[in-house]
């Protein structure tokens, strides 16, 4: 018994997908189109007409050292959080894979952080990492002033990276663990028979077979670090101190809604969108095809 329904007329089919299409149009294509339009015009902050300026917004942005600073910080943030989130997740997964008792519990426990909204997470970490009352205030008691994300830009960056990584460790862990479990047991057993110890087996057998997952997560993590970081930054540091944690996504918000430079913010969104699209293309075209073994 086939349970698939087929429609003879395209109209009925279209009607069924219409709600989704409307949603996508209203919340994705329309704003994107609007941003694209704004990026090429000069928009008045209180409304009342705009002027077409062509590429001037982009030219201005690319000549702006603050913008380049935001790009650099985004890269530092992206690489830092991706390294921590993937590295720790991989280690956890490798060790969980060896002793699998209660792995179902691990799975649900580790996925929880991912389900927490970024602002809530940011708030939690703001308390945890608060220099005067938090967990790290102990350090400040021994070495006064050593840790203060409100004053020290480096501390602030570390704080947001830690918070963001914490959210993604669980997500990455799930992927790593299921990839590890799809490696046939007999492969690691064969390696054990070949005289390879547990660590050597991880390095020689498990890691190479994880490369597809590794690259997939790499792209996802970097992409998400560009986009999903906003909530954490906004709650924890608001881009400060002295722009030390002003990432690309936060600068869009700040320039647009605080600085009322709609056009500049729109141009920044377009650049960020292009970057994410580029990464996605890399993901689908290049990685999904190359790094597979049968």
Partner 1 sequence: MSSIAIKGVRKAYAKNAVVHGVDLDIASGEFIVILGPSGCGKSTLLRMIAGLEEITGGEIWIDGKLVNKMEPRERGCAMVFQNYALYPHMTVAENIGYALKVAGVPKAERAARVAATAKVVGLEAFLDRRPAALSGGQRQRVAMGRAIVREPKVFLFDEPLSNLDAKLRVAMRAEIRRLHRRLGATSVFVTHDQTEAMTLGDRLIVMNGGRIEQVGTPAEVYNRPATRFVANFVGSPAMNLMEGEIDRHGIFTLDAARRIAIPNAIESRLVGHKVTLGVRAEAARLVAPEAPGALPATVDFVEELGAGRVVHTDLGGVSFAVAISDPVAPGTGEPVGILIDPADVHLFAQDDGRRIDLAAPQAALDPAA
- Taking the C-alpha atoms of residue 227 and residue 210, their distance in angstroms, rounded to an integer, is 26
Instruction: Count other Cβ atoms within 10 Å, centred on residue 133.
Output: 9
Under 8 Å between Cβ of 94 and 172: no
Instruction: Count other Cβ atoms within 10 Å, centred on residue 23.
Output: 10
Tell me whether residue 87 or residue 197 sits nearer to partner 1 (CB atom).
Answer: 197
Note whether 209 binds partner 1 by CB under 8 A.
yes
Note whether 190 binds partner 1 by CB under 8 A.
yes
Note whether 205 binds partner 1 by CB under 8 A.
yes
Tell me whether residue 205 or residue 248 sits nearer to partner 1 (CB atom).
Answer: 205
Question: SS3 of 150, please?
Answer: coil
Find how far residue 121's CA is from the centre of its chain.
Answer: 14
Note whether 192 binds partner 1 by CB under 8 A.
yes
Note whether 143 binds partner 1 by CB under 8 A.
no
Instruction: Count other Cβ atoms within 10 Å, centred on residue 178.
Output: 13
- Taking the C-alpha atoms of residue 241 and residue 244, their distance in angstroms, rounded to an integer, is 5
Note whether 189 binds partner 1 by CB under 8 A.
yes
Note whether 278 binds partner 1 by CB under 8 A.
no
Under 8 Å between Cβ of 216 and 90: no
Please select the residue that binds partner 1; options are 17, 187, 274, 278, rule is CB under 8 A: 187
Task: Give which of 179, 186, 182 is closest to 201, Cα–Cα.
Answer: 186
Shortest Cβ 294–partner 1 spacing (Å): 4
Please select the residue that binds partner 1; options are 13, 72, 144, 208, rule is CB under 8 A: 208
Note whether 294 binds partner 1 by CB under 8 A.
yes
Note whether 46 binds partner 1 by CB under 8 A.
no
Shortest Cβ 100–partner 1 spacing (Å): 14
Question: SS3 of 96, please?
Answer: helix
Tell me whether residue 159 or residue 205 sits nearer to partner 1 (CB atom).
Answer: 205
Note whether 186 binds partner 1 by CB under 8 A.
yes
In the complex, the residues that contact partner 1 under the rule CB under 8 A are 184, 186-187, 189-197, 200, 204-205, 208-209, 293-294
């Amino acid at each position: 018994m086939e349970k698939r329904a087929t429609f003879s007329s395209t109209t009925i089919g279209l009607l069924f997908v219409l709600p989704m299409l409307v949603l996508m149009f209203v919340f994705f294509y329309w704003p994107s189109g609007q941003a694209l339009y704004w990026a090429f015009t000069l928009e008045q902050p209180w409304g009342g007409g705009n002027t077409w300026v062509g590429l001037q917004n982009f030219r201005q942005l690319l000549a702006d050292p603050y913008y380049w600073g935001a790009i650099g910080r985004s890269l530092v943030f992206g690489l830092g959080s991706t390294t921590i989130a993937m590295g720790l997740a991989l280690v956890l997964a490798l060790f969980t894979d060896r002793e699998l008792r209660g792995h179902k519990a691990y799975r649900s426990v580790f996925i929880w952080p991912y389900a927490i909204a970024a602002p809530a997470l940011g708030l939690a970490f703001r308390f945890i990492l608060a220099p005067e009352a938090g967990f790290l205030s102990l350090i400040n008691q021994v070495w006064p002033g050593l840790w203060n994300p409100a004053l020290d830009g480096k501390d602030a960056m570390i704080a947001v990276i830690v918070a963001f990584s914490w959210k993604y460790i669980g997500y990455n862990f799930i992927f790593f663990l299921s990839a590890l479990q799809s490696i046939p047991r007999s492969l690691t057993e064969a390696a054990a028979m070949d005289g390879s110890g547990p660590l050597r087996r991880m390095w020689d057998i498990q890691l190479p077979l994880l490369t597809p997952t590794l690259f997939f997560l790499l792209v996802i993590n970097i992409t998400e670090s560009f986009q999903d970081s906003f909530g954490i930054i906004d709650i924890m540091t608001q881009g400060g101190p002295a722009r030390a944690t002003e990432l690309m996504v936060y600068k869009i918000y700040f320039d647009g809604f605080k600085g009322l430079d709609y056009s500049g913010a729109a141009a920044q969104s377009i650049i960020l969108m292009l970057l994410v699209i580029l990464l996605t293309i890399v993901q689908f075209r290049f990685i999904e095809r190359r790094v597979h073994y049968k």
